Amino acid sequence: MSKDANPFESLQEQIDDASAYVGIGDDVIERLKRPERVLETTLTVEMDNGGLETFQAFRAQFNGDRGPYKGGIRYHPGVNRDEVKALSGWMVYKCALVDVPFGGGKGGIEVDPAAHSASEMERLSRAFAAELRPIIGVDRDIPAPDVNTGQQEMNWIKDTYETLERTTEPGVITGKAPDSGGSEGRVRATGRSVMFSTREALNWLGRDLAGATVAVQGYGNAGSVAAQALDQEGATVVSVSDSSGAIYNPEGLDTFAAKHHKTETGSVQEFAGATEVISNEDLLTLDVDVLIPAALENAIDASLAADIRADMIVEAANGPLTPGADEVLTDEDVYVVPDILANAGGVTVSYFEWVQNRNRFYWPEERVNNELETVITDGFDDLVAAFDEQDLPNLRTAAYVVALRRVASAYAQSGNWPWVYSRETEPHRLRAVCVRVACGSVDRVTFPRD
């Protein structure tokens, strides 16, 4: 993986690239490039041997103009402030692109979960939940799972919040197990949106998903479900990988058996259905119709991009391409379906989960899947309409054009009341006031009409 791109700078560059086409004032664009606030905290947790260990943890609340901050919590040794800031910004534009009424946030703990017992991870999760408690809430900031977190961690965080608040408020967090207020279809939602976006993008180019060859980097939640969903729609998944390496079969891998093997053994290595073991880099440069990076940021930099032979890249991971890679791939006419559409299934079904929690009325999985398909295909249509109408350089720029306009419009419509200050005001409203005071007068902030 490339170490040279700072994901927060990548996000800012993506916004800059799109800003040339949206007609929004530079002062407002500047505001849309930075988080409103970042919580950084040190968590001290008792280990099983009675000793104490400290962990750095973060929560960035990037923008709340369109609704409560929304975004996952990641447990990984590489978590840092800039990564969390970038991930929270991508959430803002993801929610705006698929028109889910949330802003963006993201959190993480710098920890290797594999090095800790379940009870240590429970204490760590509860310690983080206690720190988050004053700034999260069903109408304020709603966390969810991300890398190395899932239903168990969400259930612990929900329980800690509800116990400290003396309430039952399952909508404070999404991605929970169904018996704890989770939604049917949530676990598979991200992978399904990768499949829907791939299908829509291929159809748009006059091609079929059935028979397309696919390689998937990263066989975790997003990657394995995407591979299985594509497989079920008739695509041939020829290669998959995880941090231990990649496996290959030109006739196609059994994606369900490969997942079972990974669950049983901890990796995709030695899967009987593979004919070859290849390196992670070999997977990224295979001659396939669709390449799906589904691991972490910066998987493909400019030099690797020059060797890409796939016709299309669909970003299941957040930020897997550096801005340099984007430039090379645009020049080479490789279509990149951006992360803020392709993996938006996770936040979309999180939104459905939040709606169900608030209504205390739960949907069958079929309804979840149907509504998800509509949201993702509508998002793709909006993106392509902008791409065609404005003759934009690539699909990522089109996605940001649509999303930036929606966020800026919500900000403009909120109006201006810098002379009012109340301690009772919601935190995200206070932020709006402070920002507008800093702007001086709303008259200096102009917005074009759509």
Q: Residues with catalytic annotation?
A: 106
Cα atoms found within 13 Å of the Cα of residue 299, Cβ hemisphere only:
28
Contact segment (CB under 6 A) with ligand NAD among 200-208, 252-260, 316-324, 426-434 equals 316-324
Minimum distance between the CB of residue 275 and ligand NAD, rounded to whole angstroms?
19
The closest alpha carbon to 186, from 166, 202, 170, belongs to 170
CB 82, CB 62: distance < 8 Å: no
CB 240, CB 216: distance < 8 Å: yes
Binding of ligand NAD at residue 376 (CB under 6 A)? no
Binding of ligand NAD at residue 219 (CB under 6 A)? yes
* Tokens (6 digits) for 319: 């930020």
Alpha-carbon 65 to chain mean position: 18
Nearer to ligand NAD, 148 or 213 (CB): 148
User: Could you say which of 1, 135, 177, 435 contacts ligand NAD (CB under 6 A)?
Assistant: 1
Binding of ligand NAD at residue 154 (CB under 6 A)? no
> Mask 258-297, x = binds ligand NAD (CB under 6 A)?
----------------------x-------------xxx-
Cα dihedral sign, 293-101-196-397: negative
The three-point CA angle 257-347-32 to 5° equals 135
Nearer to ligand NAD, 168 or 243 (CB): 243
Contact segment (CB under 6 A) with ligand NAD among 143-151, 154-162, 247-255, 377-385 equals 143-151
Nearer to ligand NAD, 24 or 104 (CB): 104
SS3 396: helix
Residues 6+ apart with CB under 8 A from 143: 59, 71, 72, 73, 105, 107, 132, 136, 154, 157, 173, 174
For the segment 161-200, give every residue that binds ligand NAD (CB under 6 A). 190
Q: Give the number of other Cβ atoms within 10 Å of residue 340's Cβ.
A: 29
User: Could you say which of 236, 318, 356, 409 contacts ligand NAD (CB under 6 A)?
Assistant: 318
CB 140, CB 425: distance < 8 Å: no
* Tokens (6 digits) for 340: 């803020």
**Does an H or E element contain 386, and which?**
helix 365-390
Minimum distance between the CB of residue 179 and ligand NAD, rounded to whole angstroms?
19
Residues 6+ apart with CB under 8 A from 17: 323, 393, 396, 397, 400
Give the DSSP letter of residue 182: P
Of all residues in the shown chain, the one whose CB is closest to ligand NAD is: 220
Binding of ligand NAD at residue 343 (CB under 6 A)? yes
Minimum distance between the CB of residue 288 and ligand NAD, rounded to whole angstroms?
16
Nearer to ligand NAD, 31 or 186 (CB): 186
User: Could you say which of 184, 242, 353, 373 contacts ligand NAD (CB under 6 A)?
Assistant: 242
Binding of ligand NAD at residue 222 (CB under 6 A)? yes
> Mask 59-98, x = binds ligand NAD (CB under 6 A)?
----------------------------------------
The closest alpha carbon to 202, from 216, 214, 220, belongs to 214
CB 191, CB 224: distance < 8 Å: yes
User: Could you say which of 88, 241, 369, 409 contacts ligand NAD (CB under 6 A)?
Assistant: 241
Nearer to ligand NAD, 57 or 412 (CB): 57
Binding of ligand NAD at residue 243 (CB under 6 A)? yes
CB 352, CB 107: distance < 8 Å: no
* # residues contacting ligand NAD (CB under 6 A): 25
User: Which residues make up the interface to ligand NAD (CB under 6 A)?
Assistant: 1, 145-148, 190, 217-223, 241-243, 280, 294-296, 316-318, 343, 346
